[in-house]
Structure 1
């Protein structure tokens, strides 16, 4: 892949996996965020770079920058920039070749983004080819990683995949808006009824014995209904770090789309 400037919206595990694969393919990938991330699988993402300045994933480093003038130096150092800046400014202040919306906001359809870059890639529910994105990737387990160049992505449906009989109850959601106070840490074993976090005076507790696979960073403001924690029943055998199967499949599809677009641009004109 020739040097291609790619802005990835989001800092969660899927956005981070996309950044890793595109970086390793030779693309100039950068993440973008403009508010404290609520990501829960933080050891499988670059999201903590917003708070700590840097974060590591799969042998790579993401570095927070607040000024797009620092993009070139971070890329030159072999790192992935995390541009903490308003999106409207971030997209305008650099000549991006590709925009990838990896925010995975399932409650709201992505806004119209076509034209903000020569190639706009969306993923998950609400993507309509030719309306708000140019190409899309399915994120549901039914058609995971499928590339769509026509039509719309599948609507949000069904329950999360069950793990040892636990599906939706693996996740804890904010009962109200406010600052999250984390009582547990990623990797901690918790028992049913044990408090793992609270928002204001409202405790959030584990509903079965398990290990905390993910939890939103302590002190981050959340909205009512936000996913803020995950408890996994596979005590002693759950993966807490690295790039998981689903993010990798999605990232591979995004990398294929970008590689195909670059190849088409590089192909010689027929006589």
Structure 2
């Protein structure tokens, strides 16, 4: 039996799902760190630790993430009750601390993750492209159809369908970069916008709202983006959309990650139910 306080978990990514995983692991007593190698394009920045890359710290619910350029100082951050955000080369961060678990929460839906088996004693992936025994040891489903289901054998579901609709709006809630370039924001998260209003520029090209709504997410001003990157989210629930904290989808995914680690590392737990799997 191991103990959460001796469990160091490296979480790849600094978006809302990676940040939720880190928060729930910290609550469980573990020592998680999130990691990024380049300026993040995360849009729901008030629901993530991504802004710590630029500002040095970021707050999500009761936890503060603190940017470090080396994993060698992670212990000091954990002892202060905070979560390290390791900004730099992934291989270097991986080599600088004895990680018991690696969680790939980068959520790259268009490209299957490379094989990471053996980079840590336990490797957990999530979303499309994960195959247990091929590129990860365990995986978690991220689609609403099977959200939070733990995959102990075989592959995760393929990417399919449209985003979940909100008041009749699905794919059109999200705005995508029309070309590669540097994003310049024209509004702030939480702003109310009208149909056709410019929310950001990528180079000389405008990115406009498709309907009246509230800006729920927007990539940080000054970040380089590629054509097709998701860079903004407009929510039709003006004044009612959640902008801060851990939302339902990242929370349920994070709960599944914690469940896998708890059981595979035999943490002390009051949970008696068997590990669910497909």
Q: Where does structure 1 lack aligned partners over 5 or more consecutive residues? A: 267-271
Distance in 2 of aligned mates of 1:252 and 1:68: 25
1:188-209: per-residue Cα shift (whole Å, max 9, x none)?
Answer: 0000010000111100000100
Deviation at 1:97, TM superposition (A): 0.2
- The match for 1:15 among 13, 18, 33 is 18
1:211-253: per-residue Cα shift (whole Å, max 9, x none)?
Answer: 0000000000000000000000000111000000000000000
Question: What TM-score results when the alignment is normalised by the length of structure 2?
Answer: 0.94
1:213 maps to: 216
- The match for 1:252 among 250, 255, 270 is 255
Distance in 2 of aligned mates of 1:252 and 1:32: 19
1:55 aligns with 2:31: no
Deviation at 1:265, TM superposition (A): 11
Deviation at 1:264, TM superposition (A): 7.2
Distance in 1 of aligned mates of 2:80 and 2:267: 29
Which deviates more, 88-97 or 143-152?
88-97
Deviation at 1:3, TM superposition (A): 1.9
Q: 1:98-247 to 2 correspondence within 5 Å? A: 98-247=101-250
How many correspondences in the alignment?
266
Distance in 2 of aligned mates of 1:78 and 1:262: 22
Over 2 Å off, 4+ runs: none
Aligned-residue CA RMSD (Å): 1.2
1:41 maps to: 44
Mapped contact 2:5–2:31 kept (Cα < 8 A): no
Distance in 2 of aligned mates of 1:207 and 1:31: 33
Deviation at 1:2, TM superposition (A): 4.0
Determine helix, strand or coil for the equivalent of 1:156. Answer: coil
Q: Where does structure 2 lack aligned partners over 5 or more consecutive residues? A: 270-278
1:105-139: per-residue Cα shift (whole Å, max 9, x none)?
Answer: 00100000000000000000000000000000000
Mapped contact 1:2–1:262 kept (Cα < 8 A): no
Distance in 2 of aligned mates of 1:220 and 1:179: 6
Distance in 1 of aligned mates of 2:20 and 2:134: 26
